[in-house]
Structure 1
């Protein structure tokens, strides 16, 4: 082959290689932009609306056009869930009881309140065995009581003790997650159990447990949805969809009680009738958080500070609130 032809072919090969390289380079950002963003979503078994969305796939469908995929992470209770959010392992936390963000804030967590569920004081209570000699709140003195640390039930117990003129020093608290608390309660290892629905109604109906006091007049029992700064700042469109789907699901549960109970019964392994009754105790009314709506958070914080259960006085209003805007 003539030397001139070889040189020409070599030059053409180099030019073509450069064009291909430039094309690949030009396509790289587009490929990166089209890669899905993973939304790490934390929830508890009692996070009713989130559990339904996880089961029916409606949230994934709604987020798909934005290139967002979901990874679901289940936690035994609210405090470890919110700790994972604070550590950056999660982007979004399904509903946790009002006490949980107070403990997280006291530990220095930087969280954003994005939604709440309206008060549901009938959805948590102090249970005692049917034959227990505990008849009044004052009878809790000296007793061993199962309660989940930093859960809404923790504040209910504190408020109930204060009403009876008692303090945490007058009882023996057993800090247990719901499953362990139930086992200890049924096994007679504790004298009382402070718990929320659906575990509350299931234990009352299945075990014949007696309600010593619910939260009415003691605590409002609101639940909050929280998010990381990064999720709020960078994925506002996705957050608006999550909020809308939670609202929509809350309305569906209240308007289709039997259908919702049938769906949740298999997931929770709880009789459908018990699930339907438990759901009747919850408002499931999802709305935006307001400064005024956080008023009781300061009451909760002050109560735990007085008992020495959080280290120092806390300004419960010193938190970020999502206003519902997409950024």
Structure 2
């Protein structure tokens, strides 16, 4: 009787515990690695739009900030985040270093959103004039490839300049005190130094590079939670449409979050073409060209195959296109 009585009281509790554990296992969190300079994600974080979209799925959102793409991918590789948004060069360096991730989408080309700038009174007038000069850049970032290709177009080798590897804040300080001769940088830092310091644009990406941005994910997370990835894409596309139709209003919201003047943010927003899309074989082939160029220059220690970091069907399409 005593045992029967005990079971009568504990059975509901055990059932509740099982139900709770099942719910806990089905719920998940999307940890997004972002850079404050990534205006669209900064807007998403501020608005809470993604949280609202994922709430019906029982998914929480955690935003993890990084100073630049290479550091973000280190976070992705060690399991600190599930998804990240970076420029075209960081995934190349990360894959060469053994990081495991998968490309899940890309934003359209934005060649005007990165450039090499010089002080307004600099004697440097063309990219060819950079020979022997010190050029600041964030190692492994999207502008690393811009610098390589801009020098190549000007008839110079990468070894003809002195690269000075600095994150954006330190690079700007070095640029303004004259410790470096030029700075390869992306928006909104580019717009800020143009408007605030009168920096002169030496060359941007037009006719040289495409400057795509990529959404990357931990492969297991992308495979296990495709509905979460789709919700992220849907929200990113909705926010992109809003920014394109309301540039000034979007800049007013983003500016204080980035610590910049609204006119600076507005200028940078006009140089990006937002709107995430699934990766195509053509875009993946462009990434492979970057990887090959970096290996030829000795910037990465071994050749890599970008197709190995693509989702199954996309990897197959790239392999078929390469035949």
1:27 Cα deviation (Å)? 2.1
- Whether the 8 Å CA contact 1:113–1:322 is kept in 2: the answer is no
2:56 corresponds to which residue?
A: 65
1:113 corresponds to which residue?
A: 103
Residues 85-104 of structure 1 aligned to structure 2 (within 5 Å): 85-93=76-84, 95-104=85-94
* Whole-angstrom distance in 2 between the partners of 1:149 and 1:210: 22
2:118 corresponds to which residue?
A: 128
Change (3 A) 1:323 1:232: farther
* Whole-angstrom distance in 1 between the partners of 2:5 and 2:72: 54
Residues 240-255 of structure 1 aligned to structure 2 (within 5 Å): 240-255=230-245
Change (3 A) 1:273 1:323: farther
SS at match of 2:307: coil
- Whether the 8 Å CA contact 1:135–1:212 is kept in 2: the answer is yes
Larger Rg belongs to:
1
1:38 corresponds to which residue?
A: 29
1:147 corresponds to which residue?
A: 137
Structure 2 segments unaligned to the other structure (5+ residues): 315-323
* Whole-angstrom distance in 1 between the partners of 2:220 and 2:270: 35
Do structure 1's residue 53 and structure 2's residue 53 form an aligned pair? no
1:244 Cα deviation (Å)? 0.4
Mean Cα deviation higher: 123-132 or 108-117: 108-117
The alignment yields a C-alpha RMSD, in angstroms, of 1.5
- Count of matched residue pairs: 312
SS at match of 1:115: strand
- Whether the 8 Å CA contact 1:120–1:283 is kept in 2: the answer is yes
1:7 corresponds to which residue?
A: none
SS at match of 2:306: coil
SS at match of 2:214: strand
* Whole-angstrom distance in 2 between the partners of 1:321 and 1:297: 15
SS at match of 1:221: coil
- Whether the 8 Å CA contact 2:146–2:205 is kept in 1: the answer is yes
Matching residue within 121, 124, 127 for 1:137:
127
Matching residue within 172, 177, 185 for 2:167:
177
- Whether the 8 Å CA contact 1:34–1:67 is kept in 2: the answer is no
- Whether the 8 Å CA contact 1:167–1:307 is kept in 2: the answer is no
* Whole-angstrom distance in 1 between the partners of 2:30 and 2:15: 28
Do structure 1's residue 259 and structure 2's residue 249 form an aligned pair? yes
Structure 1 segments unaligned to the other structure (5+ residues): 1-10
Do structure 1's residue 279 and structure 2's residue 273 form an aligned pair? no
1:3 corresponds to which residue?
A: none
- Whether the 8 Å CA contact 1:291–1:317 is kept in 2: the answer is no
1:217 corresponds to which residue?
A: 207
The superposition leaves residues 70-108 of structure 1 with CA deviations (integer Å, 9 ceiling, x where unpaired) of 111100000110121122111111x21111111111112
1:249 Cα deviation (Å)? 0.7
* Whole-angstrom distance in 1 between the partners of 2:110 and 2:295: 24
SS at match of 1:211: strand
**TM-score normalised to the size of structure 1?**
0.92
The superposition leaves residues 108-163 of structure 1 with CA deviations (integer Å, 9 ceiling, x where unpaired) of 22211111100000000000000011111111111111101111101001111112
Do structure 1's residue 20 and structure 2's residue 15 form an aligned pair? no
* Whole-angstrom distance in 2 between the partners of 1:233 and 1:26: 30
Do structure 1's residue 83 and structure 2's residue 71 form an aligned pair? no
